[in-house]
Amino acid sequence: MSDKSKIQPFSAPKGVPDYVPPQSNEFAAVRNTFLHQAQLSGFEHIELPIFEETGLFARGVGESTDVVSKEMYTFEDRGGRSVTLRPEGTAGVMRAVIEHNLDRGQLPVKLAYAGPFFRYERPQAGRYRQLQQVGVEAIGVDDPALDAEIIALADRCFRSIGLTGFRLELTSLGDNTCRPQYREALQKFLFDLPLDEETRRRAEINPLRVLDDKRPEVQEMTADAPLMLDYLSDSAAEHFEAVKGYLDAMQIPYVVNPRMVRGLDYYTKTCFEFVHDGLGAQSGIGGGGRYDGLMEQLGGQPLSGIGFGLGVDRALLAAEVEKAQVGDGRRVDVYGVPLGDAARDQMVTIINDLRRAGIRADMAYGGRGLKGAMKGADRAGARFALVLGESELAAGEVQVKDLAAHEQHTVGLTGLVDALLQELKA
Ligand code: HAM
């Protein structure tokens, strides 16, 4: 005889969150609210592969980034190709835009996506190896009004799930006319510092990354480093001023953070991050920016773009910290409580009719008694329980119990759908 108690159950992989009810309902509500907001701004949905050719990320995201150099899930498939689980969404969107010639039509191309991304990071609260984002990309127009629209959209996404305890940080990373001078000035500054070998190498490849070093001694040494904002070309400075002007006009608060370094290499000009104060070390709930050279670097036209990725996991954590209720917390609005076999048979049809009318409905199965079935109604968060016993069945009626008001009344079965539609609207 096999001893089942010896079989060890499996766990989810390290650093990968499961979302199970009731939290999973809130997770879905966060993601759907973000996607809905993107739709309101005219973004169309794009659904892309979870894995891509490894070279796409190496070239698109940048070899000097932690994401590419340390965190990718890269493996050889059975055909000997190197593939990588996508660590972020922008490179894949660019690849698809180029491949399907989406940039040959009306510009900007506005695309929204949602799904899992994979980074082999050290897991901790709010930092996962499978993370979920909702992202948007607007490609093909270099207009500060579009930058402001994208930032305003991210701001609205967070506010529409009830968040208020976050701030928007903003900077400009300049363009290809002023970046080289700044890079040179920053390198000159960094090479004079007593940096360790690895950091010095980083300063050679991408000096901006050194400003992002979290070690206190490096932060101290780089406190007086030259800032990109002091080196902006006239046109980059004008662009940045215009973006800030639009944000002011839309009354979207921001702080300029001239030392912001994004974790991906493709950014130019406007860059932003949304930071939540209630989340500890992993406080970035979303970020993005403009990427002028990315499309060309991936073999496409020299078109610029701008976008963001919002962290759904972290936005959900932030909502929990702020005690913001995401979604209505109900599994259904109406719950059927049939008492006896004949009532059960009738209830199956009633509940189906309600669902056809667009009402969220469920019922007690398995011949449960009144008490057990009413508990089911409560657990489902239903507003109304429909109690159908023998006498109601005989009279062609049902008892509608309002579970919050603790009231009940009788409604004829023929007018039930309309009556409930009315009551649910109230
Ligand atoms: P990112 O800043 O790397 O940007 O990620 C965006 C958001 O994803 C972060 O602000 C954070 O909320 C969430 N996130 C990142 N890593 C983790 C993690 N390990 N665990 C939990 N959440 C995480 C991008 O990915 C860019 N593709 C955004 C973009 C689109 N820029 C232009 N277009």
Place 166 in a pLDDT band, splitting at 50, 70 and 90: very high
Helix 179-191 × helix 197-205 angle, to 10°? 160
Cα of 282 from ligand 1 centre, angstroms: 11
Find the mean pLDDT for residues 184-204: 94
Kindly list the protein residues whose Cβ atom lies closer than 6 A to any atom of ligand 1.
88-90, 119, 121, 126-128, 131, 133, 135, 137, 263-264, 284-289, 307-309, 311, 313-314
Cα of 323 from ligand 1 centre, angstroms: 23
Cα of 135 from ligand 1 centre, angstroms: 9
Q: Measured between alpha carbons, how far is 122 from 128 in angstroms, rounded to an integer? A: 8
pTM score, whole prediction: 0.94
Q: What is the percent of the chain with per-residue pLDDT over 90, rounded to a whole number?
A: 93
pLDDT on residue 63:
85
Residue whose tokens read 């607007």: 138
pLDDT of 184 over the 70 cut: yes
pLDDT of 273 over the 70 cut: yes
Place 352 in a pLDDT band, splitting at 50, 70 and 90: very high
Closest CA to 118 of 72, 163, 79, 149: 72
The pick from 133, 146, 272 for probing ligand 1's pocket by mutation, whose C-beta has the most ligand atoms within 8 angstroms, reads 133
pLDDT on residue 366:
94
Q: What is the pLDDT of residues 290-305, one digit of tens each?
A: 999 999 999 999 999 9
The pick from 46, 71, 88 for probing ligand 1's pocket by mutation, whose C-beta has the most ligand atoms within 8 angstroms, reads 88
pLDDT of 287 over the 90 cut: yes
pLDDT on residue 3:
62
* Residue nearest to ligand 1 atom 14, measured at CA: 311
pLDDT of 337 over the 80 cut: yes
Place 9 in a pLDDT band, splitting at 50, 70 and 90: very high
Cα of 287 from ligand 1 centre, angstroms: 6
Q: What is the pLDDT of residues 226-248, one digit of tens each?
A: 999 999 999 999 999 999 999 99
* Residue nearest to ligand 1 atom 11, measured at CA: 311
Find the mean pLDDT for residues 340-355: 97
pLDDT of 134 over the 70 cut: yes
Cα of 88 from ligand 1 centre, angstroms: 7
pLDDT of 307 over the 60 cut: yes
Place 368 in a pLDDT band, splitting at 50, 70 and 90: very high
**Which atom, in ligand 1's list, is nearest to the CA of 133?**
8
The pick from 56, 310, 314 for probing ligand 1's pocket by mutation, whose C-beta has the most ligand atoms within 8 angstroms, reads 314
pLDDT of 385 over the 60 cut: yes
pLDDT on residue 202:
87
Cα of 340 from ligand 1 centre, angstroms: 53
**Which atom, in ligand 1's list, is nearest to the CA of 262?**
2
**Which atom, in ligand 1's list, is nearest to the CA of 290?**
32
pLDDT on residue 4:
63
Place 65 in a pLDDT band, splitting at 50, 70 and 90: confident
Find the range with the poorest average confidence among 59-68, 169-178, 265-274, 288-297.
59-68
**Which atom, in ligand 1's list, is nearest to the CA of 119?**
19
Q: What is the pLDDT of residues 402-420, one digit of tens each?
A: 999 999 999 999 999 999 9
pLDDT on residue 212:
87
Q: What is the percent of the chain with per-residue pLDDT over 70, rounded to a whole number?
A: 99
Beta sheet of 82-85, edge-to-edge order: 51-53, 82-85, 73-76
More confident residue, 118 or 213: 118
pLDDT of 91 over the 70 cut: yes
Cα of 110 from ligand 1 centre, angstroms: 19
Cα of 310 from ligand 1 centre, angstroms: 6
Q: Measured between alpha carbons, how far is 4 from 69 in angstroms, rounded to an integer? A: 43
pLDDT on residue 314:
98
pLDDT of 57 over the 90 cut: yes
Place 209 in a pLDDT band, splitting at 50, 70 and 90: confident
pLDDT on residue 64:
78
**Which atom, in ligand 1's list, is nearest to the CA of 264?**
3
Cα of 32 from ligand 1 centre, angstroms: 18
**Which atom, in ligand 1's list, is nearest to the CA of 284?**
10
Cα of 149 from ligand 1 centre, angstroms: 19
Place 100 in a pLDDT band, splitting at 50, 70 and 90: very high
